[in-house]
Structure 1
Amino acid sequence: MFTGIITDIGTIVATEQRGDLHVRVACSYDTGSIDIGASIACSGACMTVVELGPDWFAIDISGESVSRTAADRWVTGRKLNLERSLKLGDELGGHIVTGHVDGVGTVASIGSDGDSKRFEIRAPAELAPYLAEKGSITVDGVSLTVNTITDQPDGSTLFGLNIIPHTAAVTTIGLLEVGDSVNLEIDVLARYLRRMEQLRTSA
């Protein structure tokens, strides 16, 4: 379980295709405080630590995970938003995040809004029912608030975000460009509400 509050930006320094994709991530965490088997969210995807060294950890990524996350996410040189799993007693500063990527979105536009940046991200049609103004969304592991929703004729949805300078500086959101793919996780409460509504209307 995570909060969507990023605590480090890691860099993929090596990849190796074994049975699964083996990825080594450089980080500034005290890796002496991380256990083998611990969970770390890597740009929104919950991964299990399988190796550790000074200033790095390694994860194995299944083909299923590769196929369900943003394209070119797991390549050498890629920056990743990192968050260690939530501990009892930690501050819940964002919202409840599971680390399960529900779909891949695309950055549709980036503009200025005062000192902040205004992003529009296109979400696929299957995620549209779970998005609402002032609701929560996780973009590449970052807990954010949806400001606007614009449904599209093809069933997809454009949702708007305001990214303050601090968020842009301490996450990879500030590195995004139009056309980039991003990992999306819908709010867990919206997931359950949607399921209950489906069952109610089909009864």
Structure 2
Amino acid sequence: MFTGIIETLGKITKLKEEQSNLHITVKSTISKDLKIDQSLAHNGVCLTVVGLKDDEHNVTAIWETLKKTNIGDLKVGDLVNLERCMQMNGRLDGHIVQGHVDQTAKCINLKETDGSWIFTFEYDADKGNVTVEKGSVCVNGISLTVVNSCDNTFSVAIIPYTFEYTNLQNVKIGDFVNIEFDIIGKYVAKMMGK
């Protein structure tokens, strides 16, 4: 379980394909503090730490993860948002995030608005996912508030701090991001038959 509050950025240093799996090596300031078998969100994708060395850690993405997320599009040198799982003895600053990405969405508009940014994303609504105005959504692992909700698009407003300390600074029109829709919204949508 995560909160969507990004701790740090990690840099992809190595990618290795093995059958339908992708082994990923990430260098970060928190890698030295990790443990084998620990859950760690990478762009919002919960992956298990399988190897450690100095200031790098290794994770493996399987075929199911690769087909639902943008993890397979990563290149050496790319930055990923990292968050360790939440501790149950503190404040929940973001929202409840499982690290189970529902689908990807395409950035269709990006506008700087006098010191902040508005990102608009388009997703496949046929998969049954929904957003609501002022509801929560997780974009590349970042807990954000929806400011404009439509049937297959939504927008989020990004403050300077979030822009500077996450990989949203590198997202351009046409890029795909990982989306985890709000868990409560998913249950309500299912119960209402959407």
Task: Give the unaligned 5+ runs of structure 2.
Answer: none
Deviation for aligned residue 1:71: 6.5
Mapped contact 2:66–2:72 kept (Cα < 8 A): no
Per the alignment, in what secondary structure is the counterpart of residue 147 of structure 1?
strand
Deviation for aligned residue 1:91: 2.3
Structure 1 counterpart of 2:163:
168
Per the alignment, in what secondary structure is the counterpart of residue 73 of structure 2?
coil
Deviation for aligned residue 1:30: 5.3
The answer to whether residue 178 in structure 2 is matched with residue 177 in structure 1 is no
Per the alignment, in what secondary structure is the counterpart of residue 74 of structure 2?
coil
Structure 2 counterpart of 1:192:
187
CA shift digits 1:113-155 (9 cap, x unpaired): 221011111121135652110000000000000001233xxxx
Structure 2 counterpart of 1:115:
115
Mapped contact 1:23–1:74 kept (Cα < 8 A): no
Q: How many angstroms apart in 2 are the aligned matches of 1:8 and 1:137?
A: 19
Q: How many angstroms apart in 1 are the aligned matches of 2:96 and 2:150?
A: 25
Q: How many angstroms apart in 1 are the aligned matches of 2:66 and 2:91?
A: 31
Q: How many angstroms apart in 2 are the aligned matches of 1:133 and 1:184?
A: 16
Per the alignment, in what secondary structure is the counterpart of residue 146 of structure 1?
strand
TM-score, length basis structure 1: 0.90
Deviation for aligned residue 1:189: 0.3
Structure 1 counterpart of 2:145:
145
Q: How many angstroms apart in 2 are the aligned matches of 1:136 and 1:25?
A: 28
Q: How many angstroms apart in 2 are the aligned matches of 1:78 and 1:163?
A: 21
The answer to whether residue 11 in structure 2 is matched with residue 11 in structure 1 is yes
| Aligned residues with identical type, % of pairs | 34
Structure 2 counterpart of 1:135:
135
The answer to whether residue 46 in structure 2 is matched with residue 51 in structure 1 is no
Instruction: Using the TM superposition, name which of 119-128 and 62-71 deviates more.
Output: 119-128
CA shift digits 1:67-93 (9 cap, x unpaired): 111275332122100000111213211
Alpha-carbon distance change, 85 to 146 in structure 1, aligned in 2, over 3 angstroms: same
Instruction: Using the TM superposition, name which of 130-139 and 69-78 deviates more.
Output: 69-78
Q: How many angstroms apart in 2 are the aligned matches of 1:30 and 1:65?
A: 22
Q: How many angstroms apart in 2 are the aligned matches of 1:50 and 1:146?
A: 34
Per the alignment, in what secondary structure is the counterpart of residue 22 of structure 1?
strand
| Structure label with greater radius of gyration | 1
Q: How many angstroms apart in 1 are the aligned matches of 2:104 and 2:49?
A: 24
Instruction: Using the TM superposition, name which of 189-198 and 137-146 deviates more.
Output: 189-198
Per the alignment, in what secondary structure is the counterpart of residue 177 of structure 1?
coil
Q: How many angstroms apart in 1 are the aligned matches of 2:178 and 2:5?
A: 15
Mapped contact 1:71–1:181 kept (Cα < 8 A): no
Structure 2 counterpart of 1:154:
none
Deviation for aligned residue 1:25: 0.4
Give the counterpart letter for 1:52 in structure 2.
L
TM-score, length basis structure 2: 0.94
Give the counterpart letter for 1:88 in structure 2.
M
Q: How many angstroms apart in 2 are the aligned matches of 1:171 and 1:127?
A: 27
Deviation for aligned residue 1:169: 0.3
